[in-house]
Amino acid sequence: MNITVVSEDDLALLKNSLRIDSDSDDKLLANLVVSARKNIIGRIGNKIATFYDDNHEEFSLATILLASNYYNNRSAISDSEKYTVPLAFDDLIMSLKASYLLALSEVNDYGQEN
């Protein structure tokens, strides 16, 4: 998976979750998807090349939740309340991290299964 390429399907899924009909924010949304993917991979790990393809549904949902949060709370400065990511995002991260650690334990230093 190339994390910097946002497919039309991924963009449409995010726009649907945000209830956005226009194309005016497409570049911003694509950038938010890439940022969310990088954040998630940074939290979980990047040593298994196929991990995020093998766990696409959970990874995609976590990406949508985080990118949606970025979009809805994108003001640079705030004197008001602090926004946190949805609880479902943390649950998905924990699930993905557990799956990643299990997969990592089954792979040797050369990326081959033990």
Query: At how many degrees (to 10) do helices 56-72 and 8-18 cross?
Result: 50
pLDDT tens column, 57-113: 999 999 999 999 999 988 766 666 666 778 899 999 999 999 999 999 987 655 565
pTM of the model: 0.85
Dist. CA 1–CA 57, nearest whole Å: 13
| Per-residue model confidence (pLDDT) at position 7 | 94
Across the chain, what does the average pLDDT equal? 89
| Per-residue model confidence (pLDDT) at position 80 | 65
Question: Helix, strand, or coil here: 47?
Answer: coil
pLDDT band at 11 (very low <50, low <70, confident <90, very high): very high
Picking from 49, 38, 60, 39, the residue whose alpha carbon sits closest to that of residue 100 is 49
